[in-house]
Structure 1
Amino acid sequence: MTNQFTDDHYNSRVTDEERAEIRRLHAEGKGRNEIARTIGRGLRTISVQAAKLGLEFDPAATEDATRARMAQLASKRALLAEVLLDDALALTEQMWQPATLHSFGGKDHTYETRPIPEPLPADKRALMSAASAAITQSLRLAPPVTDNGEEDAKSMLGRVMSGLAQVWNEQQTADEGDGDAE
């Protein structure tokens, strides 16, 4: 595997021109990764040189870039999970579709095919195993969101209990007031 830069470039000392370029790009508001790509140096090299030059990178920009990257990765995982579920559906559908039986052998070593109404049990087992693996990986990539309303139910029950307690307290106060009148 070859890199676009020679080993000599990676191992060579940073030149005054490269330091000036780092300073210029930093002044333009470029981030560490963009500077590294622009001048063809590693991220660590840029970090070390920036520190030597007294340059700091905006942590908010780094945080924003990290959040954006995490969102991109989450989107890709969701897409991959969807593709895996589609694969699982296709595999399970194959279990009940017509198939072709292939055989090779006999004394003349012939190759033959024969249509069958559905795959053989061993082939169905293999299809089910493959579908199961696809579903499992899909669930790992994008676990289902369970909104069974449990929190809403607890909240509603809490409000009902508070209301009943308030009515009971009002009733007790009213009963005590009636008792004073006697």
Structure 2
Amino acid sequence: MAKPKPVGPEDYALVRELHAQDLSRNEIARRIGRSGRTVSRIAAELELSFERGEQVKAATEARKIDARAKRAALANALLDDAERMRQQLWQPADYVDHGGKEYVRVDWTTPEPTFADKLKITQSLGIMVDRAVKLDEYDADPGIDAAKSMLGALAKGLGAAYDQLNQTDADGG
């Protein structure tokens, strides 16, 4: 088995140079023909770090902000679509029918969509609005729900206390 090549000043210089190019530990190891452990030891002696925690954290936060903005835009677009679709409930509707042996096409317009079509439009509206609400809820502050729950419990308690006081007054107490 061949003896490992001793680490020399050229290894230190290469690690410093490649680290400055923002290469990963494993990429540096591959390029200089050393193990990752050796590169880590050299980097530590040079007081270099491969920790990209803050960069990764900032990039992750930026992606979350971008995704939140996209969800908000999508929720707004769904509501716009729902509004346009709702208007179709009361607009004239064009229909086409064809069939028979001779493939006869018949076109007609009604003052409003048929009941069945209104039902389908309404179902689609419900789905769009539901999805828009879910997108908004996804990014909602969870503290708001906790506050609503606490306020609801407080209101219930105050209502019970009020009822109890009124009961005591009615009994002549």
Relative to the length of structure 1, the TM-score reads 0.53
Counterpart of 1:108 in structure 2: which amino acid? E
Aligned residue pairs total: 120
**Kept in 1: contact 2:86–2:121 (CA 8 A):** yes
Secondary structure of the residue aligned to 2:94 is strand
**Which residue of structure 1 lines up, in the alignment, with residue 84 of structure 2?**
90
CA distance in 2, matches of 1:108, 1:70: 59
**Which residue of structure 1 lines up, in the alignment, with residue 119 of structure 2?**
125
Deviation at 1:150, TM superposition (A): 5.8
- Structure 2 CA distance for partners of 1:65 and 1:50, relative to 1, 3 Å: farther
Asked if 1:142 is matched to 2:136, the reply is: yes
**Which residue of structure 2 lines up, in the alignment, with residue 56 of structure 1?**
50
CA distance in 2, matches of 1:73, 1:134: 19
**Which residue of structure 2 lines up, in the alignment, with residue 76 of structure 1?**
70
- Structure 2 CA distance for partners of 1:81 and 1:92, relative to 1, 3 Å: same
- Structure 2 CA distance for partners of 1:98 and 1:63, relative to 1, 3 Å: same
Secondary structure of the residue aligned to 1:102 is strand
**Which residue of structure 2 lines up, in the alignment, with residue 103 of structure 1?**
97
Deviation at 1:112, TM superposition (A): 1.3
Relative to the length of structure 2, the TM-score reads 0.56
Secondary structure of the residue aligned to 1:68 is helix
Deviation at 1:105, TM superposition (A): 2.5
**Kept in 1: contact 2:96–2:107 (CA 8 A):** yes
Counterpart of 2:57 in structure 1: which amino acid? E
Gaps of 5+ in 1: 1-19, 36-45, 155-182
CA distance in 2, matches of 1:77, 1:47: 37
Deviation at 1:76, TM superposition (A): 0.5
- Structure 2 CA distance for partners of 1:59 and 1:103, relative to 1, 3 Å: same
Gaps of 5+ in 2: 1-13, 30-35, 41-48, 153-173
C-alpha distance after superposition, 1:101-156 (max 9, x if no partner): 211124532111111100001111111111111111111211296979969x89xx
**Kept in 1: contact 2:18–2:28 (CA 8 A):** no
Structure 1 window deviating more from structure 2 (71-80 vs 102-111): it is 102-111
Secondary structure of the residue aligned to 2:95 is strand
- Structure 2 CA distance for partners of 1:100 and 1:62, relative to 1, 3 Å: same
- Structure 2 CA distance for partners of 1:150 and 1:131, relative to 1, 3 Å: closer
Deviation at 1:50, TM superposition (A): 5.9
- Structure 2 CA distance for partners of 1:25 and 1:95, relative to 1, 3 Å: farther
Percent identical? 29
